[in-house]
Amino acid sequence: MRGAAMSLTAASGGFVVLLLTVSVVQGQDGWGVTYTSTKICAFKGSTVDIHCTYTYPPRIKGHNTTVERTFWFTKVQNKEPVDLRTDSDYTGRVQYHCAENSCTLIITDLRESDSAVYKFRFITNQDGGCFIGSPGVTVSVSDLQVQVRRSSEQVELRCHSSCNVADHPSYVWYLNGQKMEEERFSLRVSVNDHNRYSCAVKGHEDHCSPPVYPPKLPSVSVSPSGQIVEGSSVTLTCSTDANPAAKYTWYKENDHKYHSQGPQLVFSSIQSSDSGQYYCAAENNLGMRTSQYIFIGVKYAPVLPSVSVSPSGQIVEGSSVNLTCSSDANPAAKYTWYKENEDSPKASGQIFTITDFRAEHSGNYYCEAQNERGRQNSTLHLTVGTSSPLLGNSAGMMNIIRLTLVVLMLIPLLLLILWTRRKKTPLSSTTEPNDYEETVEMDSPPVYEDVSDLKAVTAAETEDTEEQEDVV
C-alpha cells in the first residue's frame, strides 16, 4: 500500500477538500481497485472528482480478459449495485471519464444528500470476473454557515464549515451581497441590524454561505377565513422570513401575558370572550419584529335579555311607561315586543313606550332578542297600582294639591285670630288666693257664611290690632 497525504484540489465548476489520500485497495490474484482518496469533504454546490485505477489478470485459463462494463454506485437493490447514471437522485449531475484501467466520477452541484460512500465496480468477460473496490470513498458535503452568538445588545457572527480547508483559513464577508474590505474570522453587529451577512473562504468566493438576517415583518392569517362562529375551531398562523429560523409568540391586545408559543395559535372551540385583537412576535438571535393586529370577531347568538320598566315602582293609571330590553350578541340583536296571549307584536326596537297606561294594559310582556345565530326572550309583568278614589287618577291628585294649598293659607290666619282674641279677654278677678287654677273665658267663635267673610273680618281685626300696637 502506498503512502497517504493531505491535499486541496480544485475541480471544474467548484472545489473539493481531500482529507486523506490512500493508494491501492488490492485484491487477490491481480484483481484490485485503487482510490486516489478514501475521504473527501466538499462544499455544498461545488463539484467533486472521485478518481480510481483498477487492475485484473490479463489471461485466465488461456482466455484473454476484457472489461465489458464499468460504473460507480452507492446503493444496492435486489443484491445488485445501482449505476449512478440511472439513479434519479443524480439525474443530470453525474459524468464518467473513463480510460484504460482508470475511471473518474464527477458530481456537480453537490447536495448534502450526496454525502455517501462511493464504490467502483468493473465487470469482465471471465466467468465470475466482477470486482468491487472496497471500502470505497466517503464523501461529506458541508454547507458553509454563519454561526450567530448573541450577548446583550450585540451579536457575534462566525464563518464555519466542517471541512478543514486549511490550518488558518481566511474568510471573506459580504454585506447585503457586497464584499466587505476586511477579511476576518468573525464580525460583531448590533441587535436588530436589518442587514444580511454572509461569508466565504478566501479563494473560493463562488461558494458563499447562506445569508443571516433578523426576522422581516411577520404576516398573520386566520383559518377558516370568513365568518367565525362560537364553538368552531379557529387557527391563527404567523410567518416571516428569517435566518436563523424565527421563534414565534402570540399576544392579545392589552394582555401582557403571551397566549401561545409557536407559529400557530389554535382555538379548538372559540368563545365570545376570545374576541379581540391579536398579534405575533417573531424573534431570532439577530432581532425581533412584531406583526400587525388581526381582529377576531366571534359571532354568537343573543344571551338572555334583561328587561326593565321606567319609572320604577307602582304604575299610575294614565301615566307613560317605558319598557327597555338589552342583550349581548354578535351581530347586534334586533328586538321585538309581545304581549302574552297576543299573536301580533306590540312594537320593535329596544324601547317600547305605553303613553297612557290603563287597566287593560296590565299583563305579561316579553322581549325577544334575535340575530342570525339564534334568539332569546325575557318576560316582564305590568299592573296598575291600587289606591283610594281620590288617589286613583291624576284628577284626584290635583284635588289633593289644591286642598293642601288652601289649608296652608288658612292656618296662619286662624292662629292670628286666636292670638288677638286672647289679648282682648281680661283674666277673672274672683280667683281665691288659695286657688291654683287660672281660668280664661273666651267667647264662642263666630260663624261665617263662607271664606270671604272670614278674610274680611280677619283683615279688619288686623287693622285694629296694628292701631293698638301703635298707641302702645
Same domain membership, residue 12 and residue 136: yes
Is 70 exceeded by the pLDDT of residue 428? Answer: no
* Local confidence band at 466 (pLDDT 50, 70, 90 cut-offs): very low
Is 60 exceeded by the pLDDT of residue 405? Answer: yes
Cell of 456: 274680611
Domain that holds residue 347: 306-382
Same domain membership, residue 124 and residue 12: yes
Collapsed DSSP state (helix, strand, coil) of residue 135: coil
* Local confidence band at 240 (pLDDT 50, 70, 90 cut-offs): very high
In a domain, 462, yes or no: no
The Cα-based distances of 301 to 333, 348, 376 in angstroms read 8, 18, 8
Q: What is the pLDDT of residue 23?
A: 40
DSSP designation for 183? E
Is 50 exceeded by the pLDDT of residue 271? Answer: yes
Q: What is the pLDDT of residue 407?
A: 75
Same domain membership, residue 137 and residue 14: yes
Same domain membership, residue 39 and residue 55: yes
Q: How many CB atoms lie within 10 A of CB 326?
A: 18
Between 318 and 469, the higher pLDDT residue: 318
Same domain membership, residue 132 and residue 224: no
Collapsed DSSP state (helix, strand, coil) of residue 455: helix
Q: What is the mean predicted confidence (pLDDT) over 111-130?
A: 92
- CA dihedral (346, 352, 357, 361) in degrees, to 10, reads 30
Is 80 exceeded by the pLDDT of residue 247? Answer: yes
Between 435 and 261, the higher pLDDT residue: 261
Same domain membership, residue 135 and residue 9: yes
Q: What is the pLDDT of residue 411?
A: 84
Q: What is the mean predicted confidence (pLDDT) over 106-120?
A: 94
Instruction: Encode pLDDT of 353-371 as tens digits.
Output: 999 899 889 999 999 999 9
- Give the CATH number, domain containing residue 31: 2.60.40.10
Q: What is the pLDDT of residue 451?
A: 43
**What's the pTM?**
0.60
Is 50 exceeded by the pLDDT of residue 443? Answer: no
Instruction: Encode pLDDT of 46-101 as tens digits.
Output: 899 999 999 999 988 889 999 999 999 999 999 899 999 999 999 999 999 999 89
Instruction: Encode pLDDT of 174-185 as tens digits.
Output: 999 999 987 888
Q: What is the pLDDT of residue 189?
A: 93
Instruction: Encode pLDDT of 15-34 as tens digits.
Output: 444 444 344 344 567 899 99
Q: What is the pLDDT of residue 171?
A: 87
Q: What is the pLDDT of residue 294?
A: 95
Q: What is the mean predicted confidence (pLDDT) over 113-137?
A: 92
Q: How far apart are CA 134 and CA 73, in angstroms?
A: 12
In a domain, 396, yes or no: no
Q: How many CB atoms lie within 10 A of CB 3?
A: 7
Q: What is the pLDDT of residue 30?
A: 85
Same domain membership, residue 227 and residue 295: yes
Q: What is the pLDDT of residue 425?
A: 56
Q: CA-based diameter of the chain, in Å?
A: 188
Cell of 119: 464504490
Average pLDDT, the chain: 81
In a domain, 129, yes or no: yes
Is 60 exceeded by the pLDDT of residue 381? Answer: yes
Q: Work out the percent of the chain whose per-residue pLDDT is above 70.
A: 79
**Final residue of a structural domain among 382, 398, 425:** 382
* Local confidence band at 414 (pLDDT 50, 70, 90 cut-offs): confident
Is 50 exceeded by the pLDDT of residue 440? Answer: no
**Final residue of a structural domain among 253, 282, 299:** 299
- Write the Ramachandran bin of 392: left for phi over 0, alpha for psi from -120 to 50, otherwise beta: alpha
Q: What is the pLDDT of residue 314?
A: 85
Same domain membership, residue 138 and residue 149: no
Q: What is the pLDDT of residue 423?
A: 65
* Local confidence band at 465 (pLDDT 50, 70, 90 cut-offs): very low
Count the domains in the chain: 4
Same domain membership, residue 372 and residue 332: yes
In a domain, 76, yes or no: yes
